Structure 1
Amino acid sequence: MKLAYVAAVLLGTGLACLPAAAQSVPAKQLFGAMERPAALPSESLGSYAKGCIAGAVALPADGPTWQAMRLSRNRRWGHPSLVAFLQDFSQRASAATGWPGLLVGDLSQPRGGPMASGHASHQIGLDVDIWAQPMPARRLSPEEREDFPFRSVLKRGSLHVDEGRWDDRYGEVIKLAAESRKVQRIFVHPGLKEKLCRIAGRDRAWLSKVRPMYGHDEHFHIRLFCQPGSTGCTPQAPVAEKDGCDELDYWFNVALKPAKPSAKPPKPRAPMTMAALPRACQTVLAAMDGGSRQVAPTAPTLAAMAPVGAASFPDLPTSVPIPAPRPLP
């Protein structure tokens, strides 16, 4: 079944239950085909790696202290709390550390859900990637943002930070994010965590939120807590209170060691289908888009309702913001 047809069926009819033929289509293809958010109250549904978002809003491509990257991906959507956090955090980070501004990578797709490439999480509009480079003094064109290279902070061929590439202000930006009560976790490469552990000094409480993870050597990943009103959001377990610096031996000596040539490659996982996601994600996928319809803020949360047709929601004059095709002046 062609994805364009599936999308047309969903958006054209307002069906909350997917056609039977769509149930077996990988969820990443269904959510990836959606170009606009669901016109529903803002709500994160499911877990960070198995869920979706209703009523997402777009981070503007440009702000005084940020530039969004890779605009063609259409992944700068998130819960309104995440977008507000980014706008505020970018200003605080610039003022407090002297970092010129943030280059913002992926948030989520318009309706969240699994992505065709790049991420296992980022599904419920509460995750964002911040590049390990300061914002240029000039505004990059959309074309430049597509090709602007990632820059790793690691020494080439090494698992440890390249001191020639390191900027102390970058560490200060990560610390500032970790100190926010709104932030649940921050993911960085183990080599970057090692560097932060060395320079932290006596003030180490914030390090507990900074978690080592595969990849993440060109950026750090901010994750917010489940937001009020998102009753269907599955919270992640709290981080331990210790700084976590004693966990790095495992990463360097076990987790990041190359596999033996004789090792059997892991069996690829089957693509996630809609059956693995919360039932309310079918309503999100089938809802009218934010350019034409919006439900009243007093409507019951999606987590508490069975899927219903989007046509049952009343029209309102407001709409969910849609990203501009080009950066704002």
Structure 2
Amino acid sequence: MRLSTVMRHLASAVVAFAAAVSGAMADPLAKDAFGAQRLPAATQAAAHGFYSKGCFAGGMAIATDGPNWQAMRLSRNRRWGHPEMIALLERFSREAAQDGWPGLLIGDVSQPRGGPMLSGHASHQIGLDADIWFLPMPNRRLSAGEREKLDFVSMLQPNSLYVDDRKWTPAHARLLHRAASYPNVERILVHPGVKKKLCDTVGGDRSWLRKVRPFWGHDSHFHIRIGCPAGSPGCRTQDAVPREEGCDQSLAWWFTEEPWRPAKGPAKPKARDVLRLSSLPSACEAVLAAPAPISEAAVTVSGRGTPMIATNAPPVAANAFAPTPERTIPLPQPRPYD
């Protein structure tokens, strides 16, 4: 092959490589773009897209410590959510304490601007999902190291689909009942064994059981999902849960072999590992480009205060045992609990 031909092929290869690199930079993996964000978009609160494919703006953080909660796995920086979700967690922690629950251990909510996560969840992308541990809050404040290493406690018997009665208490059922009582909570995901335990033991009004949905995993925590909030026209709703309690054949299916069989064929890549920024709602590019608040403290809910957001207010210290100071600009939103 002549040298000139070789040079032309080499030049073409270099151009193609440069174009590929340029394209990847212009349209990065969504998980990398959103996983790099340390603070929320300081704009009007809104959820964009679907729970497993979207983002959100105007996020708030739940403080690492509150009167009735402790946030876990702090290194993940996933204490962020739409203001309606953060307000719900604060209210839930306070009212669950009235039911005799010592306090919530709060797991992942969302990244500061949502989007696909670098690891873990497929959902939790639009600030409307949150995980709560079945382990009650201890009577002391855990260190940051303990919050990283503390083991999950499964509610199941070893190598079983059924709840271990040595671990399950009526207080667990009351906690789930309380979560289901909020109108904006549309779904609570639990392990099928936990759902069966509720079906077998709950008396009186059982209508709330329809919100409790069996799903893989969720034996050591439960997952709360709220509906699309007002002011979020780009938020895609999920199907309504059935009117029935869900203690029928749909639950019995989970106790057959079918749900637990390994998938056939080659493993498919996880969506987060291939999803590009261009695949998300177009509003998500603006969410990434939006300015951040001047500090995390200015957008952190720490007690019984109203969720606030600030872009030019002085930093406000996040006190774990006091209402959020009324120093920042109120975020316009409807009352979430009407």
TM-score, length-normalised on structure 1?
Answer: 0.81
Aligned to 1:243: 245
- How far did 1:322 drift? 9.3
How far off its partner does 1:208 sit?
0.6
Q: Contact 2:42–2:311 (CA<8 Å) still a contact in 1?
A: no
Q: Quick check: which has more Rg, 1 or 2?
A: 2
CA offsets 1:24-82 (integer angstroms, 9 cap, x no match): 43211111011111121111111111100101011011111100001110000011111
Provide the identity percentage: 51
RMSD value, Cα: 2.2
Distance 1:255 1:52, change over 3 A: farther
Match of 2:179 in 1: 177
| Cα drift, residue 275 of structure 1 | 2.1
For structure 1, the 5+ residue unaligned runs are 1-18, 293-314
Separation of aligned partners in 1, 2:311 and 2:70:
31
Larger RCO (CA under 8 A, 6+ residues apart): 1
Structure 1 counterpart of 2:313: 318
Amino acid of the structure 2 residue aligned with 1:259: P
Per-residue deviation at 1:230? 1.1
Task: Judge which range, 78-87 or 247-256, deviates more.
Answer: 247-256
Secondary structure class of the residue paired with 1:45: strand
What does residue 133 of structure 1 align with?
A: 135
Q: Does 1:228 align with 2:223?
A: no
AA partner of residue 185 (structure 1): R
Q: Indicate whether 1:66 and 2:69 are aligned.
A: yes
Q: Could you tell me how far apart the structure 1 residues matched to 2:262 and 2:115 are? A: 31
Matching of residues 46-125 of structure 1 within 5 Å: 46-96=49-99, 98-125=100-127
Between the aligned partners of 1:257 and 1:316, the Cα distance in structure 2 is 48
Please give the residue correspondences for 1:9-24 in structure 2 after superposition, counting only pairs within 5 Å.
20-24=23-27
Distance 1:176 1:316, change over 3 A: closer
Q: Secondary structure at the match of 2:225?
A: strand
Residues 93, 99 of structure 1: 8 Å contact kept: yes
Aligned partners of 2:292, 2:245: CA distance in 1, in Å? 44
Letter in 1 for 2:294: G
- Equivalent position SS for 2:245: coil
Matched with 1:268 is 269
Shift of 1:22: 2.8
SS at match of 1:201: coil
Total equivalences in the alignment:
284
